[in-house]
Amino acid sequence: MSKRSLSSLSATEVSGKRILVRVDFNVPINDQGVITDDTRIRAALPTIKDLIEKDGKVILAAHFGRPKGQVNEKMRLTAVSVRLSELIGKAVKKTESCIGEDAESKVNAMNNGDVVLLENVRFFSEEENNEPGFAQKLASLADIYVNDAFGAAHRAHASTQGVTKFLSPNVAGYLMEKELQYLQGAIDEPNRPLAAIVGGSKVSSKIGVLEALLDKCDKVLIGGGMIFTFYKARGLSVGKSLVEEDKLSLAKELEAKAKDKGVELLLPTDVLLADNFAPDANSQVSSINSIPEGWMGLDIGPSSIKVFQEALSTCRTVIWNGPMGVFEFDKFAHGTNAIATTLADLSGKGCCTIIGGGDSVAAVEKAGLAEQMSHISTGGGASLELLEGKVLPGVAALDNSI
């Protein structure tokens, strides 16, 4: 069921109203308290600006870090309020706490078009426990609820789900709407052929998504450290590459499932090896059939890159989740960078390219190709769960579209 969007609320419905907007401002901040990447703040701007233009009173709720239900001075949202003020060109007042006297007085003093940022909601354990009393206190600050925090939509927390029981309407913000449109659309109604590229170090972290994608995709390409579990399951020697011994039978099952469903499952045929896990390690390219003892695979090899590029060339929709190797080390970033470049080229030819959160996003941004992709997801765990076909509590709680 599609969800009601902020676009369905007219200026008349918003003007003068207090709107609680759940945003994902969990941005990286260095030891000097400086935000090193404001992507998530900028991603929420369309929703915030729309509500300002419609003369709403914008009350932002967000979490930062994992304070475990206690006030942590290093996890206050002060730097976020400063950066947001710069981006929207007007002062953003921050409360001392997300509920209580200070929050109430700052909200009551708001004029139409004002923005207030509530302090870190996770300073209260009741947030993650989704306690109704806490949710009601948060909701009492507002009249309308907008969820624009896709990155937290897989959590059934007070600010993502609980508040919807006390507010109406409850709608998706523009970022949330876009995420659902691309990710859900790619799975439910893709332009085919549909390919998924799944990388990362462990099979265990991607079991659900791999099984779901084998039901939906025409092609599944696997890279990253998880490939060595598949090779070991085939009886190949993998040197000292990362292997999940307890997932060998699962790897066999996934290969068998792909064959049964007629899905083209591609694993690299060669790998770039290192003699130790270091950016300056000695390296050599090896066929997967002859990996020597004492060496570990840290990237896919040049032949595999060509095979992957060829497989992707005919696709109309591609979802990518997880790097092809240890892209943080420049020497072992060739596979990941090649996939990023290939997808950027495909985007220019009309292919829908979706970067499904996590390390893939970091890799695409490091390669300077983010702007050329159709969609970059802001959610790591949320993206994976949506691709797995799971119901996201923060989405399910919103009103259905009329």
Q: Is the dihedral of CA 167, 169, 174, 180 positive or negative?
A: positive
Pairing outcome for strands 18-22 and 264-266: unpaired
List 265's β-bridge partners, or say none: 220
Catalytic residue among 4, 17, 49, 202: 202
One of 49, 381, 389, 390 is an active-site residue; which one?
Answer: 381
**Of 151, 358, 379, 394, catalytic:** 358
Among this protein's residues, is 381 annotated catalytic? yes
Contact 234, 224 (CB under 8 A): no
Q: Which two tokens stand for residue 48?
A: 């915030």
In the chain, the N- to C-terminal Cα span, in Å, equals: 10
Please state, in angstroms and rounded to a whole number, the distance separating the CA atoms of residues 138 and 232.
52
* Distance, CA of 173 to CA of 45 (rounded, Å): 10
The DSSP secondary-structure symbol of 326 reads -
Residue 366 has φ and ψ, to the nearest 5°, of -60, -35
Question: By three-state DSSP, how is residue 61 classified?
Answer: strand
Name the burial class of residue 264, with classes exposed (0-12), middle (13-18) and buried (19+) by CB atoms within 10 angstroms of its CB.
Answer: middle
Q: Which of 40, 137, 155, 240 is flagged as catalytic?
A: 40
113 is catalytic: no
Q: Quick one: tokens of 141?
A: 């600050």
Q: Is 202 a catalytic residue?
A: yes
Lookup result for tokens 């790619």? 186
| C-beta separation of 52 from 88 below 8 A | yes
Instruction: Specify whether 40 is catalytic.
Output: yes
Residues identified as active-site: 40, 202, 358, 381
